């Protein structure tokens, strides 16, 4: 073990840390030296979105002390940003183990710094925090969650006064302040408890009222109130809001998956509490099948992501991917608003650079402005703020099972997404169609786009370096062709440089720097490589397309597109 690690361990054993923490360190010293090294070999980084990591003792773990130091750094930045002004912050948490404790720790530190703190009385969906920040005119907010990560993880997401997650310059400035906190002795741990106010039913009512205002066709729901809905909160916060919101929208036939309805940070029925995973949705799928439901929906632990399943054209239950769900939602919001006569000439939608190009095509054919931003809802929120008063934001979303409907929330919101997806299903049912039938119609109208992604995980101390080496390899020697088609365009968002590899023409990409590479081939395939900002993973996104002229061709063309992506993965040696 290095001297630096030994010094950190000694500091924790001698410092102002509680006895349980010190005993846990001694146990690691005696019985788990490798884990001790992992726990202390670096400081858990406060990234641009906050903290995320495995819970435990040490500088590289999520615990009371790393949370407290991060909060003190954030508090110091807020004081510098709003000198002489009263500062209020809002705090929420999910169903993970220790989330309530971490939220209370965060509240106590902010309160001890003299801030007014609005702390939700119990677990709530992350999007309700975003709404509360705006509603209460807070300067900032924090939610203690690790989203859809495995049960060993927890985290801390930081928000600014617009209800969106931190963007430049605040993200890097907060990081600087957090890194400046060198000792737990610099943290104001207590003394401001009187500054803490609990949020509960009143805020819930305001949030639900706002969500209900997003409905485009309430009269269709009234006709289709018996739409058979199966919903699973996957042991998360969705149970606090989603059934209430569906009832408020007017749906009367909602079945909650009992086995996954109780909030539980151990997520006992799943390996990963992520609605992107078919295994995670399998219990809900079985229930939907048994009930012959119209739609199945699942939300992740902090209820900002939604996954759906419907019956396909053969009557088989299938999970929709995040791109398909986004296309359905975007198309509905554009087409329904137009059909109802409430579309505005300055309507706009926002998607991200790794999300399906089909959204751009739907927007183009509906004469709605469509903006593409970097991955992450903080960038969608930032663009909405920039366009406020000039353009009318309707919907934003990305492939990672996230939607942001309306401008009263500035983060992805699975609660509103569940309600609107059920409204869409009701609308299509009133026309004698399923959502899958609608998807095929959209493919015929706008082009048959198909996407997939793979994640490669590189764990441990060398993982991040291996990922960095992969990206550098692609930068230094980009592939000349992929799956038999020439690479025509290279987009490097880190260098903010686009290049036509056929003509040699270059241009500047007008988006903030981000470690993303995209290869676009002559046949229109798009491959994106992007390291995760929160996990030791690199993600590869694949997008291919073809024409579909008739429903009868669907299976054949779908197989063709799947085979094309398999060919790309094999050619790039990613399998």
Which runs of E-coded beta strand occur in 20-137?
50-54, 88-93, 116-120
Number of alpha helices (DSSP H) and beta strands (DSSP E) in the chain = 18, 23
Catalytic residues: 147
CA dihedral sign, ordered 338, 340, 345, 348: negative
CB contact set of 252 (below 8 Å; sequence gap of 6+): 225, 226
- Which helix (H) or strand (E) segment is 157 a member of? strand 153-160
Please say whether the beta carbons of 270 and 279 come within 8 A: yes
Residue 347 CB-half CA count within 13 A:
22
**Other CB atoms within 10 A of residue 555 CB:** 12
| The two three-digit tokens of residue 367, written as one number | 């004469």
How many angstroms separate the CA atoms of 461 and 380, rounded? Answer: 33
Alpha helical stretches, state H, 341-434: 358-365, 377-387, 414-430
Strand, helix or coil for residue 30 = helix
Task: For residue 219, count CB atoms less than 10 angstroms from its CB and return exposed for 0-12, middle for 13-18, buried for 19 or more.
Answer: exposed
Which residue in the block uniquely carries the two structure tokens 């110091």?
76
| The two three-digit tokens of residue 293, written as one number | 């439901």
How many angstroms separate the CA atoms of 464 and 473, rounded? Answer: 14
Give the residue from 561, 540, 386, 368 showing the smallest Cα distance to 360. Answer: 368
Which residue in the block uniquely carries the two structure tokens 């001698």?
14
- Max CA pair span of the chain: 72
- Which helix (H) or strand (E) segment is 522 a member of? none
How many angstroms separate the CA atoms of 424 and 320, rounded? Answer: 14
How many angstroms separate the CA atoms of 381 and 304, rounded? Answer: 14
How many angstroms separate the CA atoms of 455 and 349, rounded? Answer: 28
| The two three-digit tokens of residue 415, written as one number | 């609660």
Which residue in the block uniquely carries the two structure tokens 């190009």?
357
CA dihedral sign, ordered 283, 285, 289, 291: positive
Alpha helical stretches, state H, 320-413: 322-340, 358-365, 377-387
How many angstroms separate the CA atoms of 443 and 449, rounded? Answer: 7
Please say whether the beta carbons of 407 and 213 come within 8 A: no
Give the residue from 12, 20, 65, 66 showing the smallest Cα distance to 36. Answer: 12
In this structure, what are the phi and psi dihedrals at residue 121, rounded to the nearest 5 degrees?
Answer: -65, -25
């Amino acid at each position: 073990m290095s001297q630096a690690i030994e010094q950190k361990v000694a500091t924790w054993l001698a410092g102002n840390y509680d006895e349980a923490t010190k005993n846990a360190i001694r146990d690691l010293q005696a019985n788990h030296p490798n884990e001790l090294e992992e726990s202390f070999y670096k400081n858990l980084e406060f990234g641009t979105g906050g903290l995320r990591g495995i819970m435990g003792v040490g500088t590289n773990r999520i615990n009371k002390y790393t949370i407290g130091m991060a909060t003190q750094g954030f508090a110091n930045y807020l004081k510098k940003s709003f000198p002489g002004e009263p500062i209020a912050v809002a705090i929420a948490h999910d169903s993970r183990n220790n989330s309530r404790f971490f939220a209370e720790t965060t509240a106590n530190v902010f309160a001890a710094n003299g801030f007014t703190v609005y702390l939700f009385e119990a677990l709530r969906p992350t999007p309700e925090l975003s709404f509360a920040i705006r509603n209460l005119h807070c300067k900032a907010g924090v939610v203690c969650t690790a989203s859809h990560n495995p049960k060993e993880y927890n985290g801390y997401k930081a928000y600014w006064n617009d209800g969106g997650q931190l963007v430049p310059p605040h993200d890097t400035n907060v990081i600087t302040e957090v890194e400046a906190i060198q000792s737990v002795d610099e943290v104001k741990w207590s003394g401001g408890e009187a500054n803490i106010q609990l949020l509960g039913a009143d805020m819930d009512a305001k949030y639900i009222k706002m969500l209900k205002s997003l409905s485009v066709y309430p009269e269709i729901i009234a006709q289709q109130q018996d739409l058979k809905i199966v919903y699973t909160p996957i042991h998360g916060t969705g149970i606090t809001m989603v059934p209430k919101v569906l009832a408020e929208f007017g749906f009367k036939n909602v079945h909650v998956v009992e086995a996954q309805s109780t909030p539980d940070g151990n997520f006992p029925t799943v390996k990963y509490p992520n609605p992107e995973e078919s295994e995670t949705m399998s219990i809900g799928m079985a229930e939907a099948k048994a009930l012959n439901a119209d739609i199945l929906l699942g939300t992740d632990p902090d209820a900002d992501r939604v996954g759906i399943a419907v019956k396909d054209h053969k009557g088989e239950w299938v999970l929709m991917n995040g791109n398909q769900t986004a296309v359905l939602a975007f198309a509905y919001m554009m087409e329904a608003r137009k059909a109802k006569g409430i579309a505005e000439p300055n309507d706009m939608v926002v998607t991200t650079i790794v999300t399906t190009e089909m959204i751009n095509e739907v927007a183009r054919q509906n004469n709605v402005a469509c903006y593409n931003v970097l991955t992450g809802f903080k960038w969608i929120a930032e663009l909405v703020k920039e366009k406020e008063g000039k353009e009318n934001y309707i919907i934003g979303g990305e492939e990672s099972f996230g939607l942001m409907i309306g401008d009263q929330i500035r983060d992805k919101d699975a609660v509103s997404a569940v309600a609107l997806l059920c409204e869409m299903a009701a609308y299509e049912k009133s026309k004698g169609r399923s959502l899958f039938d609608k998807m095929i119609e959209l493919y015929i109208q706008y082009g048959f786009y198909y996407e997939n992604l793979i994640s490669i995980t590189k764990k441990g101390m060398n993982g991040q370096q291996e990922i960095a080496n992969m990206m550098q390899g692609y930068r230094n020697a980009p592939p000349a062709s992929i799956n038999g088609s020439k690479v025509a365009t290279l987009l490097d968002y880190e260098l903010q440089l686009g290049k036509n590899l056929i003509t040699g023409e270059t241009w500047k990409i007008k988006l903030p720097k981000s470690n993303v590479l995209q290869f676009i081939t002559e046949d229109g395939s798009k491959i994106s490589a992007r390291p995760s900002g929160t996990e030791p993973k690199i993600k590869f996104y694949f997008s291919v397309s073809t024409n579909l002229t008739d429903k009868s061709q669907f299976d054949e063309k779908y197989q063709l597109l799947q085979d094309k992506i398999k060919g790309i993965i094999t050619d790039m040696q990613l399998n």
